[in-house]
Amino acid sequence: MLMKRELGRTGVVVSEIGFGGIPIQRISERRALELVNRSIDMGINFIDTHRDYGDSEKKIGRAIKGRRNEVYVCTKSHARDPEGLSLDLETSISNLEVSTVDLYYLHGVNTIEDLRKATSPENLDFLQRMKDEGVIRFLGVSGHLEEPMLKAIETGFFEVVMFPFNYIVPDARKKIIPICKEKGVGFVCMKPFAGGMLDDSKSVLGYVLKYPISTAIPGMALIRELKQNIRVSKMEWFATDEEAEKLEAIGEEIGERFCRNCGYCSPCSHGVEIASLVRLQSWIKRIGWRGKKKEIIRSIKSLDDCIECRECEGKCPYNLPIVEMMNEQTEWLLEEFPSLAILRN
């Protein structure tokens, strides 16, 4: 039996393992439909996607036809004005072939200024109208940095927060998760596998499920991955305090060279695609080479413009050796795909 948890004050009960919809853009529609339906059969009722995840929304929409009442569907928008939000929402509803989105996130809110724009009176009026009309059931916010998320929780506008949480990036356990629990805000754990950096389901999910989160949404592209992830919930195996401390110690070592995707390093004054280059390996593991082909080629070419001024490193809140990481990630990619070497000649 897949365990369930409350999604904050929404009154909704969700599977503690959800379905992250990023990787299915790199598999065929037949395999994607089989995977989504198998996950529902096995007890997953929380499905997360985004109109920017390639054809993920469309595949999920086709998969849940005839099963709409068995799942809660979540999608997102980066827009910061009513017109953009309206267009994104309309597109997502069309892609998913639904009349209602259960949870709609204002996505990637990583600065206080961005939060101010996202929660402008005009935006909130539009979103409230969508809720009143039944187009959206619940409103969420997502981001990668603690301060904007804490401020977002304080506004009282959001019923759900989505934030990275794993033993490489465990900060949410200190403030965000406890405050979410106190205020009845659902906490959705994104990147439990740290964007592909981690691979042991038992330790990864056993760690995050130890805490009072609502659900974790690992990205999955294989039936094998689905079974491994669900097995942790069915076993009800959660890390002990001692085991969690050991995992966090391992995470500290990895975290010294791990990009949190906060975006502070960008833009580069010389046009280098910094944020993409430091996450090439994660992109490939989650999305596949074809899923980001144009972006990857553009990013690799842009590295030629790097003069190693290290302005990006001065802006990084995690003090990462960005220049070194960009070169390492590019070298890794060229080793995996030797035919791309021509891009650096």
- Identify any residues that bridge with 139 across adjacent strands, giving them in sequence order: 104
Per-residue pLDDT, 336: 79
- Three-state secondary structure call for residue 132: helix
Per-residue pLDDT, 292: 65
Per-residue pLDDT, 345: 54
The DSSP H or E segment spanning 308 is: none
Cβ distance 143 to 178 under 8 Å?
no
Cα–Cα distance for residue pair 171/188, rounded to 1 Å: 14
Cβ distance 260 to 197 under 8 Å?
no
Ordered per-residue pLDDT tens for the chain, 345 residues: 789 999 999 999 999 999 999 989 889 999 999 999 999 999 999 999 999 888 999 999 999 999 999 999 999 999 999 999 999 999 999 999 999 999 999 999 999 999 999 999 999 999 999 999 999 999 999 998 899 999 999 999 999 999 999 999 999 999 999 999 999 999 999 999 987 778 899 999 999 999 999 999 999 999 999 999 999 998 888 899 999 999 999 888 777 777 877 777 888 989 998 888 887 877 677 666 666 677 788 888 888 889 899 999 888 877 889 999 888 888 888 887 777 666 655
Q: What is the CATH number of domain 4-249?
A: 3.20.20.100
Cα–Cα distance for residue pair 228/294, rounded to 1 Å: 32
Quick one: 66 exposed, middle or buried, by C-beta within 10 A (0-12, 13-18, 19+)? Answer: exposed
Domain-wise residue ranges, the chain: 4-249, 274-344
Long-range CB contacts for residues 114-117, cutoff 8 Å, separation at least 24: 114/80, 114/148, 115/141, 115/148, 115/151, 115/152, 117/80
Q: Which residue has the tokens 């039944």?
A: 134
pTM comes to 0.85
Per-residue pLDDT, 325: 87
- Spell out the residues 6+ positions from residue 54 whose beta carbon is closer than 8 angstroms to its own: 25, 26, 287, 291
Cα–Cα distance for residue pair 206/217, rounded to 1 Å: 13
Cβ distance 204 to 193 under 8 Å?
yes
Put the strands of the sheet holding 19-20 in their side by side order: 19-20, 46-48, 72-77, 101-106, 136-142, 160-164, 186-190, 215-216
